[in-house]
Amino acid sequence: MSEPLRVLLADDQTLVRTGFRLILRADGIDVVGEATNGAEAVDAVRRTRPDVVLMDVRMPEMDGLEATRRILARAADAPRVIILTTFDLDRYVYAALSAGASGFLLKDVTPEHLTAAVRTVRTGDALLAPAITRRLVQRFAQRGGDTATLHRDLASLTPRELEVLGLLARGLSNAELAARLHLAETTVKTHVARILAKLGLRDRVQAVIAAYETGLISVGHHDTTHQHSDQI
- Tens-digit pLDDT profile for residues 118-151: 988 887 766 665 556 666 666 655 554 344 444 5
Asked if the structure places residue 44 within a domain, the reply is yes
pTM (2 decimals)? Answer: 0.70
Report the C-alpha gap between 221 and 55 in whole angstroms. 30
Same domain, yes or no, for 23 and 123? yes
Asked if the structure places residue 218 within a domain, the reply is no
Structure confidence at residue 226 (pLDDT): 39
Asked if the structure places residue 28 within a domain, the reply is yes
Structure confidence at residue 18 (pLDDT): 96
Same domain, yes or no, for 34 and 117? yes
Cβ–Cβ < 8 Å for 81, 145: no
Asked if the structure places residue 173 within a domain, the reply is yes
Same domain, yes or no, for 10 and 75? yes
Q: CATH number of the domain at 35, please.
A: 3.40.50.2300
Asked if the structure places residue 38 within a domain, the reply is yes
Asked if the structure places residue 154 within a domain, the reply is yes
Report the C-alpha gap between 142 and 213 in whole angstroms. 8
- Mean pLDDT, residues 201-213: 79
Asked if the structure places residue 199 within a domain, the reply is yes
Cβ–Cβ < 8 Å for 84, 38: no
Same domain, yes or no, for 187 and 116? no
Same domain, yes or no, for 89 and 166? no
Q: Domain range holding 107?
A: 6-127
**What confidence tens digit (pLDDT) does each residue in 164-199 have?**
999 888 777 788 889 999 999 899 989 999 998 999
Count structural domains, the chain: 2
Q: CATH number of the domain at 159, please.
A: 1.10.10.10
Residue 68 amino acid letter: T
Report the C-alpha gap between 222 and 145 in whole angstroms. 26
Q: Which of 115-152 are b and which e, b meaning 16 or more Cβ less than 10 Å from the residue's Cβ? A: bbbbbbbbeebbbbbbebbbebbbebbeeeeebeebeb
CB atoms under 10 Å from CB of 160, counted, come to 13
Structure confidence at residue 231 (pLDDT): 44
Same domain, yes or no, for 44 and 104? yes
Same domain, yes or no, for 77 and 113? yes
Same domain, yes or no, for 12 and 122? yes
- Mean pLDDT, residues 111-119: 91
| Phi, psi angles (nearest 5°) of residue 53 | -115, 125
Report the C-alpha gap between 10 and 20 in whole angstroms. 10
Same domain, yes or no, for 44 and 123? yes
Residue 104 amino acid letter: F
Same domain, yes or no, for 104 and 208? no
Same domain, yes or no, for 104 and 27? yes
**What confidence tens digit (pLDDT) does each residue in 14-72 have?**
999 999 999 999 999 999 999 999 999 999 999 999 999 999 988 999 999 899 999 98
- Give SS3 for 205: helix
Asked if the structure places residue 228 within a domain, the reply is no
